[in-house]
Amino acid sequence: MSWPSMNDLSLVVPALGVLAMLLISVIASELADTVQSTNRMYSDFMWFSRIATFAGFALVGHVLIFLGTYMVRFD
């Protein structure tokens, strides 16, 4: 069995980045909705928290996408 080449990995890593961005943003949104519905006092904070969480994990997803596209150069 041979190891996958860098070109194979360069297709997988960006796809994982996109999936991670979508999945984590949905989870963060649902979690923020749950917390917001149980405590109305912090609704403004929850909006900020939801946006910050989405932005943070979108950044992680974009880093994975960048790494995947950068791997093509080594082949």
Write out the chain in H/E/C secondary structure: CCCCCHHHHHHHHHHHHHHHHHHHHHHHHHHHHHHHHHCHHHHHHHHHHHHHHHHHHHHHHHHHHHHHHHHHHHC
Average pLDDT over residues 69-73: 66
Let me know: does 36 contact 72? Beta carbons within 8 Å.
no
The pLDDT of 38-60, averaged and rounded, is: 70
Q: Can you read off the two tokens belonging to residue 7?
A: 């070109």
Measured CA to CA, the distance from residue 17 to residue 56 in angstroms comes to: 13
pTM exceeds 0.85: no
Chain mean pLDDT for the chain: 70
